[in-house]
Amino acid sequence: MKCPMAPSERRSLRSRFAEHGWVVFTVLTLLFIFSYMVRLSTGVLGPMLIDDLNINAGQLGLLAGVFFYAFGAAQIPVGLALDSFGPKRTIIATSLLAVAGCILTGVGTSYSLVLVGRLLLGLGMSSVLMGSLKVFANWFRADRFAFLAGSILSLGNLGGLLAATPLLLMAMTLGWRNCFFYFAAFVLLIIFLIACLVSDHPPRIDAGQDAGPPPSGPRGWQGLAALGSIFLNWHFWIMGLGSFVRYGSMLTIHGFLGMLYLVEIVGLGPEEAGTVLGMISVGYLIGSPLAGRLSDTVLRSRKKVVTAGFFLFALNMIPFWFPASIPLPLWYILFGCIGLFSATSPVNFAHVKELFPPRMTGTVLTGANLFVMLGAALGSQLTGAFLELYPRSAAGYPSQAYLLVFLGLFAASMIAGLLYILVKDTHGVRNGQA
């Protein structure tokens, strides 16, 4: 997609802005903030969707989950596209699907149409984070990658905050359908900015000319062979399992389990429980750049940071076994630590990227992100199915059910941490040279 400007104007924009990687970072981060906001939008819009579309809670759950299923299913094709056609083209192409999804959601008068719109949104946002990371890998030094990945993931949590009270107020003022028309206009604006200001690789400043594209990614049968080499690598599987456990555990607590636990077991009111739950976003907002900085400059190790995150998360689950002995202020800290100790995702992405050659970066990152999305899609469903094994009273599910769930989260994180010890360490090395 070409920018509708004269060549001289495009060159002027490039000379003034696009040589600076932070402009590229800012534009792509804005799109990721939107992606994070729209994936969580069914939470606060849920009551309106139930009333307007005449659906039940199960159908609302599917509406929320279809985004992650579509997102996850697209990861491998998106990875091959990132390496074959470049991140800029791939992000623009998929973002156009998101525009269509927003419009279809806004005009959809039936549940099935809104469901398709939500599916298109999942497909449309499927390349944003991994495509952005591929661009960052081209634009910035390798020893800054974890910090940049942490920064975009941290800032993405602003989308989680926008998906709460601000989105609710917007929907109450404009109507939830009209919100999605504004969303479509916003994504179109970001597509325009990407077309004008973002390039897959930086210009060669000293020569005053383009450095030329990075080595082209594998295509055709070569792409399938590269995909096979990734999924036959046992380091990759351990990292993928860790991503599944880490993000699946956090999202299960944040999007499903935490609210029920705080209301039914701890005895908080819904508003206070929501405030406590929001500390997960605060912890993640702080933890992502912190983990990247620790990995890049302090510990100078990917493995140490990720492994510590797993063990600290597991230890943070222990107080949840004894809710009666926890004072209210400590709940704020514990839920903040859930986000803080889950915020090693950027380091994990840097780690897996550095184990493979640069031409495979897109495929590797989206392959790793597939496990993240599977954790998000399956975590709440599996937890909900487990809770349903216990009879629900007027006060909620029995405390024993929650105890076993948090025991399971403790065990899963401990196992993931122990396995991660076996992975080869890297730090800011060129891809594939660890």
What are the extents of the domains in the chain? Answer: 13-199, 231-420
Per-residue pLDDT, 18: 42
Helix, coil or strand: residue 393: strand
Per-residue pLDDT, 177: 95
Query: Does the pLDDT of residue 314 top 90, yes or no?
Result: yes
- Confidence band of 213 (pLDDT split at 50, 70, 90): very low
**Across residues 116-126, what is the average pLDDT?**
95
* Residue 357: count of CB within 10 angstroms of its CB: 16
pLDDT digits (tens, 9 = 90+) for 49-100: 878 998 875 677 678 778 888 998 888 888 888 888 999 999 999 999 999 9
**Which of the listed ranges 201-205, 211-215, 250-254, 314-318 does the model predict with the highest average pLDDT?**
314-318
May I ask the CATH architecture of the domain 231-420?
Answer: Up-down Bundle (1.20)
Tell me the whole-structure pTM to 2 decimals. Answer: 0.72
- Enumerate residues 6+ apart whose C-beta is below 8 A from 321: 403, 406, 407
Per-residue pLDDT, 362: 73
Per-residue pLDDT, 413: 96
The percent of residues in the chain predicted with pLDDT above 70, rounded, is 86
Q: What whole-number distance in Å separates Cα of residue 220 and Cα of residue 84? A: 9
Q: What whole-number distance in Å separates Cα of residue 296 and Cα of residue 212? A: 28
Per-residue pLDDT, 70: 92
Per-residue pLDDT, 94: 97
396 phi/psi in degrees, rounded to 5: 120, -165
Per-residue pLDDT, 206: 41
Q: What whole-number distance in Å separates Cα of residue 380 and Cα of residue 276? A: 19
Query: Does the pLDDT of residue 208 top 50, yes or no?
Result: no
- Domain 13-199: assigned CATH number: 1.20.1250.20
Site of tokens 């184990």 = 355
Per-residue pLDDT, 223: 58
Per-residue pLDDT, 19: 56
Q: Do the two domains 13-199 and 231-420 of this chain adopt the same fold? A: yes
- Confidence band of 5 (pLDDT split at 50, 70, 90): low
